[in-house]
Chain A
Amino acid sequence: DIVMTQSPDSLAVSLGERATINCKSSQSILYSSNNKNYLAWYQQRPGQPPQLLIYWASTRESGVPDRFSGSGSGTDFTLTISSLQAEDVAVYYCQQYYLTPYTFGQGTKLEIK
């Protein structure tokens, strides 16, 4: 199985500041034939189901604010929130969908400093 490891486990950032969450896969999730990274990011607010933010590592889902961006390739990926808002308090997960089982990272809890 592909193991997804996120860092840090928790993060406190001031309002308006940048938040960065990292995700590392145990093997490359870049499919060479289409040059796509099979990596998604989700936000889960307390008591809510997960919400898709980013897919193909860097494509923002419709309706997601542009302060959210994804980057990276191969085995190393980053989710960046450029200017933290109060409503961004949540747990963030990465997931690979390159090979089944489509494993998730352990989650990163983002709080306001």
Chain B
Amino acid sequence: EVQVVESGGDLVQPGGSLKLSCAASGFNFSGFAMHWVRQAPGKGLEWVGHIRSKSNNYGTAYAASVKGRFIFSRDDSKNTAYLQMNSLKIEDTAVYYCTDGDYAYWGQGTLVTVSS
């Protein structure tokens, strides 16, 4: 059975940092890109970016809204992807989802709230 579980969401002050984790099982994690998608309360979906597989040199791409502040990484030995979020802004408040490269498997998301 495929599972994707995000964790690490929390309440953080503007300007702060947070690191999210995405633990996957049941599929060939190392062979796939991993995407991050977020959803602000009551709003639509926003693609945050992705990290590709080792065979694609762990290439990354970021939405303009997070570029220079967010960093993707992954540990294929742990089947886990990470999202390091720095210089957080109020508008980063959202549920953060990770999903596999084909968007077939999604976690339940983890809530990040940026507020003073």
Contacts and interface: CB of A to CB of B under 8 A. Distances in A.
A49 B107 contact: yes
A63 to B, nearest CB: 10
Nearest to B104: A52
- Report the interface size class on chain A: 20 to 34
Contacts of A50: 37, 45, 97, 103, 106
Contacts of B64: 1, 101
B41 interface: no
Interface string B24-37: 00000000000101
B47 A101 contact: yes
Contacts, number: 49
Interface of B: 35, 37, 44-47, 49-50, 61-64, 97, 102-104, 106-109
Interface stretch (A10-18, A19-27, A81-89, A102-110): A102-110
B106 A101 contact: no
A93 B103 contact: no
A102 B45 contact: no
A5 interface: no
A93 B106 CA distance: 15
A95 to B, nearest CB: 7
A98 B44 CA distance: 20
A94 to B, nearest CB: 10
Contacts of B46: 104
Given A50-B103, A93-B44, 16 more contacts: A42-B103, A49-B97, A49-B107, A50-B45, A61-B104, A91-B44, A95-B45, A100-B49, A100-B61, A101-B47, A101-B61, A101-B62, A102-B35, A102-B50, A104-B46, A106-B44
